[in-house]
């Protein structure tokens, strides 16, 4: 394993619920993601996957434990510094695509670059165009999300996540809203472009086939992260005659 990109050290997260009780979402999570790594996390709904991903992506802060980026703790960074660090280092792919409505594919892919400086900012249009061409949408630059299919929207989202060359891609159930075939195509694309740019990829999924693409596999259960044995999971799912881990 090469240098550590982002690491969670004994991270716990709890939130206060409206009735004033505390809900513990994550418990003592340790995770290390190296540059170029490919990690999958499976777990049932409500097990804390999105919360874990948000902490990895510096969108959320742990209640206990630390998040290290490039070996340095982020605990003392201010809000603006965290935002800028996230903009440089992290690209998100969401289940619901989360494209900006009414904006063209090109405008959507430009978004991360508009928060950059230097060449990324000044050449944003050209870079976004190239990235859309890379995901096979060079002919749909001006299309708005409502003119695109689910698969095409997720391609735009992938282009957006990768256009600023982040070192970490966080994908939260990226195929969850797509049919099986489209989902498989999208996952191949995501793997490919992430590998091309040398970015680490952390994928959260229900789908064992999607999870199987990763090099390392984890499973989140009631807030506890464990290394997963995919073969056993496959066997279990075959026995249960169903898809996924539920």
Ligand X SMILES: Nc1ncnc2c1ncn2[C@@H]1O[C@H](COP(=O)(O)OP(=O)(O)O)[C@@H](O)[C@H]1O
Which positions lie near ligand X, rule CB under 6 A? 15, 17, 23, 25, 43, 45-51
Cβ(178)–Cβ(150) under 8 Å?
A: yes
Q: Of 158, 195, 196, whose CA–CA distance to 174 is shortest? A: 158
Residue 54 CA, chain-centre distance (Å), reads: 9
DSSP one-letter string for 144-196: -GGGS-HHHHHHHHHHHHHTT--SEEEEESTTTTS-HHHHHHHHHHHHHHHHH
List phi, psi (to 5°) of 13: -140, 125
Enumerate binding residues for Mg ion (CB under 5 A).
Answer: 50
Window 147 to 166, contacts with other proteins (CB under 8 A): 160, 164-165
Q: Which is nearer to other proteins, 17 or 101 (CB)?
A: 101
* Half-sphere exposure in the Cβ direction for 214 (13 Å, CA): 28
Nearest to Mg ion of 49, 124 (CB atom): 49
**Burial tier of 68 (Cβ tally within 10 Å: 0-12, 13-18, 19+):** middle
Strand partners, 11: 29
Q: Which does 186 bind (CB under 5 to 8 A by kind): Mg ion, other proteins, ligand X, none?
A: none
Q: How far is the CB of 135 from other proteins (least distance, A)?
A: 17
| Residue (90 or 131) nearer to Mg ion, CB | 90
Closest residue by Cα to residue 178 from 153, 141, 142: 153
Q: Which of residues 161-190 bind other proteins (CB under 8 A)?
A: 164-165
- Give the range of 52-60, 63-71, 178-186, 205-213 binding other proteins by CB under 8 A: 52-60
Q: Does 145 engage in binding with other proteins (CB under 8 A)?
A: no
Place of tokens 């694309």: 189
Contact between 235 and other proteins (CB under 8 A)? no
Smallest gap, in angstroms, from Cβ of residue 220 to ligand X?
7
Q: Among residues 9, 103, 209, 216, which is the contact residue for other proteins, using CB under 8 A?
A: 103
CB nearer to other proteins: pick between 169 and 233: 169
User: Is residue 141 at the binding interface for other proteins, with CB under 8 A as the rule?
Assistant: no
Where do contacts with other proteins occur on this chain (CB under 8 A)? 50, 54, 57, 59-60, 79-80, 83-84, 86-88, 91-92, 94-96, 98, 100-103, 107, 111-112, 114-122, 160, 164-165
């Amino acid at each position: 394993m090469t240098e550590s990109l982002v690491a969670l050290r004994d991270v716990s997260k709890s939130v206060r619920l409206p009735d004033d009780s505390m809900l513990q979402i994550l418990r003592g999570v340790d995770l290390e993601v190296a540059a170029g790594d490919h990690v999958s996390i499976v777990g049932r709904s409500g097990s804390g996957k999105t919360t874990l991903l948000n902490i990895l992506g510096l969108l959320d802060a742990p209640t206990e434990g630390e998040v290290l980026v490039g070996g340095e703790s982020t605990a003392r960074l201010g809000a603006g510094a965290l935002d800028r660090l996230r903009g440089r280092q992290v690209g998100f792919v969401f289940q619901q695509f989360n494209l900006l409505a009414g904006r063209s594919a090109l405008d959507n892919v430009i978004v991360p670059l508009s928060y950059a400086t230097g060449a990324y900012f000044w050449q944003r249009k050209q870079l976004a165009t190239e990235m859309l061409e890379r995901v096979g949408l060079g002919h749909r630059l001006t299309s708005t999300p409502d003119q695109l299919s689910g698969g095409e929207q997720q391609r735009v989202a992938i282009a957006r996540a990768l256009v600023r060359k982040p070192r970490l891609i966080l994908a939260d159930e990226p195929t969850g809203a797509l049919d099986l075939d489209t989902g498989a195509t999208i996952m191949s694309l995501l793997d490919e472009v992430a590998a091309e740019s040398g970015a680490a990829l952390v994928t959260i999924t229900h789908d064992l086939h999607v999870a199987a693409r990763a090099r390392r596999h984890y499973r989140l259960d009631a807030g506890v992260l464990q290394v997963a044995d995919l073969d056993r999971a496959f066997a279990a799912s075959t026995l249960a005659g169903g898809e996924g881990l539920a």
